[in-house]
Amino acid sequence: MAGLWVGAAALVGAGRRGRRLPQPLMRSSALWTLKHVPHYSRQHLMVSRSLCSAGYDSNEKTFDKILIANRGEIACRVIKTCKKMGIKTVAIHSDVDASSVHVKMADEAVCVGPAPTSQSYLNMDAIMEAIKKTRAQAVHPGYGFLSENKEFAKCLAAEDVIFIGPDTHAIQAMGDKIESKLLAKKAKVNTIPGFDGVVKDADEAVRIAREIGYPVMIKASAGGGGKGMRIAWDDEETRDGFRFSSQEAASSFGDDRLLIEKFIDNPRHIEIQVLGDKHGNALWLNERECSIQRRNQKVVEEAPSIFLDSETRRAMGEQAVALAKAVKYSSAGTVEFLVDSKKNFYFLEMNTRLQVEHPVTECITGLDLVQEMIRVAKGYSLRHKQADIPINGWAVECRVYAEDPYKSFGLPSVGRLSQYQEPIHLPGVRVDSGIQPGSDISIYYDPMISKLITYGSDRTEALKRMEDALDNYVIRGVTHNIALLREVIINSRFIEGDINTKFLSDVYPDGFKGHKLTENERNQLLAIASSLFVAFQLRAQHFQEHENSRVPIIQPQVANWQLSVKLHDEVHTVVASNSGPTFSVEVDGSKLNVTSTWNLASPLLSVSVDGTLRTVQCLSREAGGNMSIQFLGTVYKVHILTKLAAELNKFMLQKAAEDTSSILRSPMPGVVVTVSVKPGDVVAEGQEICVIEAMKMQNSMTAGKTGKERTVVPVLRSLPGCLLVSRKGR
């Protein structure tokens, strides 16, 4: 929720190129944020707003009131620009989103239905009624939901309400992947070989896949965002892919049509941002590198791409503009390409909306894309020429999700944010979010927590700032993917630019396991954990005497704390002593000095270990010696006891682990879409038991071993939609 965009001209520090936003505008821009978001401090908001770089001409009249037909971070993002432009805003929300940040930020808010998206954010009748009720002159759809729905745009036009996006012809032409591919060919844009029609059924899908040659990509004709997409390497996967893709497409976009094309193995995913107006002008605003993906959804993006040279960049940009002009495109849009190792590029699709990753483009160009969309919708011409579009510096975006990265690189997690603190106190950091402490991450919507963006004069600086920002990001109450994000940006292949869309599976063939500690890093962690343990013990011993009551306490004076520290099933002998803020720690014979302010009430702790600065988070601490510490992005569980306690602990009985070999549990809360077995069935290992839909994705759950089904229970304890299947194993 913090910050708009980090512009090349507005960053803290000297030596940046470009125009600096006038100071009076920067100060006034912060005031509205303070009014509408009381949960954040003045310093927090002033820092975030000072990163704004795109000015606004107050004499240029646009709209009096805009309704945002979306939720979460993108709704907040649009509202911020509207406030800057002096435009009143209307938020829509489902009943479970009534207390959401975007609702609080808007001038007005209207409930459009219950939690399921089909009954709220996709409910066109309810949204149209909200428009009439509030007399909004225009609608910004954000991304997802109705942003690429031509029928919604037609409904708005029929009521003389402006759709802040392209016209219905462009939405129809580019939103339909089949038609867009034909138009791309006509506009002389490089395209991927494939079937240009609609696939009718699974049998036809198999026939077409064989003709094209495996592997193939099965994907929804409408929509995007990785929904309704499957890669198939054989006939069986094609049949399964057709079934799941059509179901996801119908659920997400209300359109189950599919197409099939050749899957280009090991490509890069690079997209071109375009901007057009209603007067025939169109620009390309450079590229975004989006190759780091899981399940066809982007995880890390950056601008520009380390891979492209100026000649390839220009060729891609010119083809993207040619396609935009071919459909008379008038708004912000994105043309996506697959690029092979020889820099051959092929048209993938065009998204006729604002992209999730648009902030990185704003960083390197200094443009506010939402502002440009509003101007164009009002009928103004573009203010810039192609020669005016710069590449100033480097920007990186990490999508912070409520996901468990140790399960398929990110299975959704749900919960309530018990503590939440964005790292915008750091230079060159922007955070786009729509949450606050106490917000719920539910099963109904996308699990994104925020978009974390860092900007630097070059790629090295931007990545270092991202590393620091991830270490300083406090998220408690839900499982998150910060460990994975941090590992990606420090990976040697990523730093060298050796990436493709299979990066995660190539680098982590056995799944993500967290940061692998070097011996020096392990000793640093053990030294920090031991110092924290002693610091907590010393604080517990401290007794504040009351004025009228004295309780005699004999406090032991311990010169050296002899500790037993267990990490990864290995026990280490540690001796710690302190002198003021510095602890001298000996770990398995190696001596380290650990210095900090030891503010144990703070969620973040800055520590110096022999001069090396680390930011750590103590997530939990138990009286029995268990401690969870977030170190280098990964959460490590350590067990610390004094030497005496460790010796006595050997006599404690260990709790036996539960035998779950005959039980299949859903790894996440969700809705049971189908159950493929019944009690008494004999199932084989790998056979599908059920399909769980969670956060817009369908997941097939399969048997872990051969057995006979005993019971099928659709609800497991208090977790809605979870499935419990018990079987008698063989």
Q: Which residues are annotated as catalytic?
A: 349
Distance of alpha carbon 241 from alpha carbon 231, whole angstroms? 7
Token representation of residue 529: 């954990």
Strand pairing report for 605-609 and 108-113: unpaired
Token representation of residue 167: 């016209």
Q: Tell me the residue type at 225.
A: G
Q: Using an 8 Å Cβ cutoff, are 443 and 669 in contact?
A: yes
390: left (phi over 0), alpha (psi -120 to 50) or beta: beta
Q: Using an 8 Å Cβ cutoff, are 70 and 145 in contact?
A: yes
Token representation of residue 299: 């995880």
Distance of alpha carbon 501 from alpha carbon 457, whole angstroms? 26
Distance of alpha carbon 722 from alpha carbon 419, whole angstroms? 26
Question: Using CA of residue 137, residue 141, residue 146, residue 150, what is the dihedral sign?
Answer: positive
DSSP, res 332: E
Q: Tell me the residue type at 152.
A: F
Radius of gyration of the chain (CA): 27
Beta bridge partners of 474: 421
Best CA proximity match to 327, nearest among 187, 141, 144, 189: 187
Q: Tell me the residue type at 544.
A: Q
DSSP, res 657: P
Distance of alpha carbon 589 from alpha carbon 574, whole angstroms? 8
Task: Give DSSP secondary structure letters for 198-242.
Answer: -B-SHHHHHHHHHHH-SSEEEEESS--TTTTEEEESSHHHHHHHH
Distances (CA, A) of 459 to 463, 494, 583, 643: 6, 11, 36, 48
Beta bridge partners of 426: none
Q: Tell me the residue type at 322.
A: A
Run of H or E including 349: strand 345-351
Q: Using an 8 Å Cβ cutoff, are 600 and 528 in contact?
A: no
Distance of alpha carbon 296 from alpha carbon 249, whole angstroms? 14
Q: Using an 8 Å Cβ cutoff, are 209 and 186 in contact?
A: no
Distances (CA, A) of 582 to 258, 589, 605, 607, 621: 63, 18, 14, 10, 21
Q: Using an 8 Å Cβ cutoff, are 47 and 424 in contact?
A: yes
Best CA proximity match to 478, nearest among 295, 635, 598: 635
Q: Using an 8 Å Cβ cutoff, are 72 and 451 in contact?
A: no
Token representation of residue 195: 């079937």
Question: Using CA of residue 421, residue 425, residue 431, residue 433, what is the dihedral sign?
Answer: positive
Q: Using an 8 Å Cβ cutoff, are 395 and 359 in contact?
A: yes
Q: Using an 8 Å Cβ cutoff, are 264 and 342 in contact?
A: no
Distance of alpha carbon 41 from alpha carbon 18, whole angstroms? 29
3-state secondary structure of 549: strand
